[in-house]
């Protein structure tokens, strides 16, 4: 590869060093992907100009999409601090959407047959319309690379409309689908063509016009002055409608060949300087740019809201919704007057100005900050109105206006909405929190306030904010420097465990009480939990509940695996114990704890589940990333894969707790605290029959058919699904399964071995030896401990989930040594004796 690319010795040596380090860190890397690993090493280390990613892929017939996953593995394995992959993904997605939009615009207004478009030989020239199509794309790519520092989608699409407007003005009449005068909308006062393109593509006219006059046309004049664009001496436009437009005679007819070649050469220079993939390949329908998604059938109508339309709709929503907002309204100013007649208007304005000075958008900085300010004032006014109506007092509104944390968080939320609306993929959360020095734990509470008090938010922005909240709940709020730990004292942890497990009602809605949410977490009176901490923990347990349910549903599709509702109850109960009573969540991901808990509880209950199966199913989850199970914190600046974490950190911490659950008798399982996972409002109780489609669901009462027969002896507490006037055999089996005594209580554990012994007439549990007892729990160990000085963090998990390597347990000396290691170092002698007594009983 180095010879084919003509790499110099230094570049080749750097790429080889990276590849060698990768194989040492990942000895199990698939040799089938050997050439892909070479591509990754060259691409990551490449510092010379003239070699592009497209050249690397062309040598081996790979697509751009094919390199994403291997590059992610390569970078994460070597722990490289680079955003190379994120930039590549962002550019690939944005340019793909832009080319689809460009192609759609061109085919709607000009004559071209893209289906039969192929690469022509040097002798056979393409049709003029096809050459203009190529020239327009070259011109846009060059403009995008030269004029846009941060190539987000909205800015790029605005620039593409400027380029297309230039093509439209100069396009030969014979290749138009309709006369130029019919293109504009019928209007008493016809507007220019740029307004027409913006109106039909959900773009904001003012922004596009400003870009055209201030940036694009100035750049076009520079190209003309430097003889990159050739044109004839100035002539009048061929159509009166073009009077006053920027017109270059002969641009797309007489001088087309020269312009196409010169612009293409300029783009090649730009490409070699950046080393990215060649965006001109879209014109050739190259295999490199093919998407793995199945192509849509022509008969299937397009979706009403494509990603391009969604982004443009959000951008247009920002401009139009807050056009009339210039600052605090008259209604809002009444909240800024305190009881002692002090005006807080200047305080709020100064704070906003000071905070926005900490942020720099590079592109359209002043315009975007103006939109952020309008959005902030609009949402703030809605919150103040709500609080005043709720409390009928100005005390809370004044308190809100004086709180720096609340207002800084609200401004951060407004900034994140603007970033999302412009699809600024180079700026990703938590960039804004780092800029404004806000902790994720303090910020997440404002998300629900924004969604509630700004109902006009576009759908994909809502989804973006909800995903941010999930990121905070699952990982970011658990960082070691989080304010969360300020309030998590020993007393508070005990109160949280009791509240989360035993509370039967729903918490008061705290999102409206913004004053309490954004006050500093000061330790409350004895026996009380800070409301902000309580709401956070309840949201965490609710999110964990949803993920555990989805996880178990996937695992139950495997053969020989049956995780019962009672086991799910134990897993959820154990999760509450882990997050409130241990330090395991600190600097770790929620999913790491869930995977370890599922494995540990299932092994204790002898469910034949392996870590390989867990990781395979986890990879199908929407939030899953390989980094979650490949890099887990083991200690101070020590990291390893999830199996090493389970064996060295997780199991020693929760082993005693798992032993207690394993010893729980069947009749006492129903006494486990029932975790209340409601967050917003209690579930709606079914008090009357409801019909969903053709299925009638009745509350817990005597089924209709049994009541007609007069048989009510064993009908209490059962349920039936009744379709029409009869029961099918399948429904009878379904009802029999639902009404079976095993499923009467979802909180009751079912021990399969106990049921089997009852059938065989065995009433007592047989005695087993210590070695046999250890065998029950030795399967919790997945891999042997590594020898000191060896590097094994990524040896088990790289390209595929690891294979099972249980610790042998037939050696009594080894058993005793490992048993001592498994005892918690913080355990008291009494606790150790209790554990020993339990083992002796077994």
| Whether residue 800 has pLDDT greater than 50 | no
pLDDT (mean) for 513-540? 60
| Whether residue 732 has pLDDT greater than 80 | no
> What band does 425 get if pLDDT is binned at 50, 70 and 90?
low
> What band does 409 get if pLDDT is binned at 50, 70 and 90?
very high
Determine the pLDDT at residue 729. Answer: 58
Q: pLDDT tens, 354-402?
A: 999 988 876 667 888 888 999 999 999 999 998 888 888 888 888 899 9
DSSP character at residue 639: E
> What band does 581 get if pLDDT is binned at 50, 70 and 90?
confident
Candidate ranges 239-243, 739-743, 760-764; pick with highest mean pLDDT: 239-243
pLDDT (mean) for 639-658? 92
Task: Give the 3-state secondary structure of 765-818.
Answer: CCCCCHHHHHHHHHCCCCCCCCCCCCCCCCCCCCCCCCCCCCCCCCCHHHHHHH
> What band does 288 get if pLDDT is binned at 50, 70 and 90?
low
Q: What angle do CA 764, 769, 770 make, to 5 degrees?
A: 120
Of all residues in the chain, the percent with pLDDT exceeding 90 is: 21
How far is residue 731 from each of residues 365, 700, 737, measured CA to CA in Å? 64, 18, 10
| Whether residue 297 has pLDDT greater than 70 | no
Lowest mean pLDDT among 30-34, 668-672, 801-805: 801-805
Candidate ranges 300-314, 476-490, 750-764; pick with highest mean pLDDT: 476-490
| Whether residue 30 has pLDDT greater than 80 | no
Q: pLDDT tens, 323-356?
A: 667 777 777 888 888 878 888 889 999 999 999 9
Whether a cis peptide bond, with omega within 30° of 0, leads into 284 is no
Q: pLDDT tens, 142-179?
A: 999 999 877 788 889 999 999 998 988 888 888 888 77
Question: 632: Cβ–Cβ under 8 A, 6 or more apart, which residues?
Answer: 588, 589, 592, 639, 640, 641, 642, 644, 645
Through-space distance between the first and last CA atoms of the chain, rounded to whole angstroms: 63
Sign of the alpha-carbon torsion through 818, 820, 823, 826: negative
| Whether residue 589 has pLDDT greater than 90 | yes
| Whether residue 709 has pLDDT greater than 80 | no
Closest to 216 (Cα-Cα) out of 224, 257, 270: 224
DSSP string, 396-459: HHHHHHH-HHHHHHHHHHHHHHHHHHTT-TTS-TTHHHHHHT--HHHHHHHHHHHHHH-TT--H
| Whether residue 514 has pLDDT greater than 60 | no
Q: pLDDT tens, 85-135?
A: 888 888 888 898 899 999 998 988 888 876 555 444 444 567 888 889 999
Lowest mean pLDDT among 163-167, 418-422, 704-708: 704-708
Determine the pLDDT at residue 140. Answer: 94
Determine the pLDDT at residue 204. Answer: 85
Which one is predicted more confidently, 169 or 760? 169
The H-assigned helical ranges of 227-364 are: 256-274, 307-321, 330-333, 345-356
Determine the Cα–Cα distance for residues 283 and 120; give it in Å rounded to an integer.
12
Determine the pLDDT at residue 62. Answer: 84
pLDDT (mean) for 711-726? 37
| Radius of gyration from C-alpha coordinates of the chain | 33
Statement: the pTM of the whole predicted model exceeds 0.75? no
* Average pLDDT taken over every residue of the chain: 73
Lowest mean pLDDT among 301-315, 652-666, 767-781: 767-781
DSSP character at residue 294: P
Which one is predicted more confidently, 657 or 47? 657
pLDDT (mean) for 32-52? 80
Enumerate domains of the chain plus CATH numbers. 8-82 (no CATH), 91-289 (1.10.472.140), 307-474 (1.10.472.10), 690-743 (no CATH), 763-841 (no CATH)
Residue with tokens 């305080």: 347
The H-assigned helical ranges of 475-564 are: 484-487, 490-502, 514-517, 531-555
573 three-class SS: helix
């Amino acid at each position: 590869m180095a010879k084919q690319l003509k790499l110099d010795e230094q570049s080749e040596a750097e790429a080889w060093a990276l590849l060698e380090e990768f194989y040492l860190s990942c000895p199990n890397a698939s040799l089938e992907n050997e050439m892909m690993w070479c591509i990754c090493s060259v691409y990551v280390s490449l510092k010379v100009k003239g070699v592009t990613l497209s050249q690397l892929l062309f040598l081996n017939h790979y697509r751009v999409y094919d390199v994403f996953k291997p590059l992610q593995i390569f970078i994460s394995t070597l722990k490289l601090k680079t955003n190379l992959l994120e930039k590549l993904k962002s550019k690939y997605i944005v340019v793909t959407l832009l080319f689809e939009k460009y192609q759609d615009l061109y085919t709607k207004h000009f004559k071209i047959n893209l289906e039969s478009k192929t690469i022509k030989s040097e002798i056979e020239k393409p049709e003029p319309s096809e050459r203009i199509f190529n020239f327009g794309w070259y011109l846009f790519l060059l403009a995008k690379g030269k004029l846009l520092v941060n190539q987000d989608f909205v800015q790029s699409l605005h620039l593409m409309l400027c380029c297309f407007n230039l093509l439209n003005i100069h396009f030969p009449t014979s290749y138009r689908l309709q006369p130029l005068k019919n293109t504009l909308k019928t209007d008493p006062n016809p507007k220019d063509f740029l307004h027409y393109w913006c109106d039909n593509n959900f773009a904001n006219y003012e922004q596009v016009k400003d870009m055209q006059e201030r940036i694009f046309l100035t750049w076009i004049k520079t190209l003309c002055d430097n003889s990159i664009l050739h044109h004839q001496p100035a002539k009048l436009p061929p159509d009166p409608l073009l009077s006053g437009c920027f017109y270059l005679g002969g641009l797309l007819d007489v001088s087309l060949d020269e312009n196409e070649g010169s612009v293409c050469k300029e783009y090649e220079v730009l490409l070699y300087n950046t080393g990215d993939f060649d965006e001109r390949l879209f014109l050739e329908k190259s295999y490199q740019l093919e998407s793995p998604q199945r192509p849509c059938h022509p008969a299937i109508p397009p979706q009403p809201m494509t990603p391009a339309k969604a982004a443009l709709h959000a951008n247009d929503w920002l401009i139009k919704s807050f056009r009339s907002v210039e600052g605090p309204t008259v209604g809002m100013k009444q909240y800024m007057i305190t009881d002692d007649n002090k005006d807080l208007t200047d305080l709020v304005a100064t704070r906003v100005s000071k905070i926005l000075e900490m942020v720099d958008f590079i592109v359209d900085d002043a315009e975007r900050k103006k939109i952020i300010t309008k959005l902030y004032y609009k949402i703030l006014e809605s919150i103040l109105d709500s609080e005043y109506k709720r409390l009928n007092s100005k005390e809370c509104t004044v308190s809100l206006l004086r709180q720096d944390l609340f207002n800084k968080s609200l401004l951060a939320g407004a900034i994140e909405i603007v970033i999302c609306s412009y699809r600024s993929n180079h700026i990703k959360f938590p960039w804004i929190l780092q800029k404004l020095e806000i902790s994720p734990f303090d910020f997440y509470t404002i998300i629900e306030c924004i969604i509630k008090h700004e109902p006009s938010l576009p759908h994909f922005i809502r989804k973006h904010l909800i995903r941010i909240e999930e990121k905070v709940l699952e990982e970011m709020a658990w960082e070691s420097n989080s304010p969360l730990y300020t309030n998590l004292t020993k007393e508070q942890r005990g109160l949280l465990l009791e509240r989360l497990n035993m509370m039967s009602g729903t918490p008061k809605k705290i999102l409206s009480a913004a004053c309490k949410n954004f006050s500093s977490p000061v330790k409350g009176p004895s026996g009380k939990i800070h409301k902000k901490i309580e709401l956070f923990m309840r949201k965490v347990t609710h999110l964990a509940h949803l993920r555990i349910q989805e996880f178990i549903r996937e695992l139950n599709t495997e053969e020989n695996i049956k995780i019962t509702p009672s086991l799910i109850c134990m897993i959820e109960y154990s999760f509450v114990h882990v997050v409130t009573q241990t330090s395991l969540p600190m600097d770790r991901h929620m999913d790491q704890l869930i995977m370890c808990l599922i494995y540990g509880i299932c092994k204790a209950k002898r469910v034949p589940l392996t870590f390989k199966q867990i990781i395979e199913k986890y990879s199908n989850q929407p939030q899953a990333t390989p980094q979650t199970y490949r890099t887990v914190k083991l200690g101070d600046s020590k990291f390893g894969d999830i199996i090493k974490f389970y064996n060295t950190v997780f199991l020693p911490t929760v082993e005693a707790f798992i032993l207690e659950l394993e010893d729980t008798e069947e009749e006492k399982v129903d006494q486990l605290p029932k975790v209340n996972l409601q967050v917003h409002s209690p579930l709606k109780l079914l008090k009357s029959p409801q019909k969903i489609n053709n299925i009638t669901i009745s509350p817990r009462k005597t089924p209709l058919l049994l009541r007609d027969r007069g048989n009510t002896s064993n009908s209490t507490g059962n349920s039936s699904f009744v379709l029409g006037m009869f029961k099918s055999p399948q429904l009878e089996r379904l009802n029999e399964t639902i009404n079976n005594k095993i499923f009467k209580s979802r909180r009751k554990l079912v021990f399969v071995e106990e049921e089997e012994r009852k059938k065989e007439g065995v009433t007592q549990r047989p005695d087993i030896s210590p070695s046999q007892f250890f065998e029950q729990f030795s399967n919790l160990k997945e891999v042997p401990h590594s020898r000191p000085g060896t590097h094994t963090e990524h040896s088990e998990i790289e390209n595929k989930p690891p294979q099972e390597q249980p610790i042998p347990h037939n050696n009594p000396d080894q058993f005793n040594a490992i048993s001592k290691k498994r005892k918690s170092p913080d355990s008291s002698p009494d606790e150790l004796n209790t554990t020993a007594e339990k083992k002796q009983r077994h």
